Amino acid sequence: MPRRLGVDALVAALDAPATVASRSALVRQFGRRTLDAALQSSRVTRILPGFYAHADHARKFGTRVAAADAWLPADAAIGGVAACVLHDITAAPPARIRVATRSPTHPRAPDWIWLRRSTALVTARPFGGLRVVSASDALIQAWEEAGPRVGSGLIVDAIRDHQATGIEIIAALRGYPRVRRRAPLVRLLGELAAGAESYLELVAGRTVLNAPDLRELVRQADVVALGRRRRLDAYDPATKTAIEFDGRLFHSNDDARRSDLDRDSALASIGIVTLRFTYEDVVGRPRWCRDRIRRTIRARRAQFGLPERGVGT
């Protein structure tokens, strides 16, 4: 086969996302000179020592994950935020791919690979042909890697979407003698066990509903309105007052707004009034939110002829 056609065939073999090949495999199939010519053409690049990829795909997340998996020691596994992407917990790939390994020695890695020795018994599970840590391990490592704000969102999303449970994460956490920011992580898991289902609810629980009287509100209360079960973020059954916290991402378009209005009118049909607070309200003016809740409940108690007393009684 002419050298040019051989180079074209080699480049075509690598021209797909998440495709890497070892030097030995490429030399065996196409020959050393053809591989050298492909590298000189800049259409193929060495992505890791002994491994090659198409130049157009070399910086893509899927290609880098595949290369890392092929290059790293047998006891290593893709972890952290990168593993959360592979588990479909998040769609935002990290700049660096965290790799968990128990080996005390490891090859020198490029900047886009973050090798972290793990004393925990991390189980690498085959996942789409890759060695990936479990969802629970990935979330604990992502908490360390990305910090509490991002980590909280990932954990909440994973539990809400049934990709992991609080019990599984707590069990996995026992295998980590050292975890940065462990105390707030344990606190987060406790709050999730108490019923918070979104990151904004967590923030609201800490900044808005943290007063003694507002702690008595029923969290994640279920009511039936117009034949459908509705779950309320917080609820005062004595005055039929519902409090909803609307996340920035999920309540910003017309369809979501119409859904909220339909939900509110359904609740109104059984006498429940709804107070809605946005992300900006909860984060930017929690005292205002508390005041609005208290004023509404106080007015509702007067309307129902109830004495002024603590919320939720």
What pLDDT is stored for residue 255 in this prediction? 67
Q: Which two tokens mark 110? A: 């490029």
- Find tokens 């965290």 and name the residue: 98
What pLDDT is stored for residue 252 in this prediction? 46
What pLDDT is stored for residue 250 in this prediction? 44
Kindly tell me if the per-residue pLDDT of 1 is higher than 70: no
- Amino acid letter, 153: G
For 200-209, what is the mean pLDDT? 85
pTM above 0.75, yes or no: no
For 196-202, what is the mean pLDDT? 74
Kindly tell me if the per-residue pLDDT of 312 is higher than 70: no
Kindly tell me if the per-residue pLDDT of 106 is higher than 80: no
Summary mean pLDDT of the chain: 87
What is the percentage of the chain residues whose pLDDT exceeds 90?
56
Q: Quick one: pLDDT band at residue 159, thresholds 50, 70, 90?
A: confident
What pLDDT is stored for residue 100 in this prediction? 85
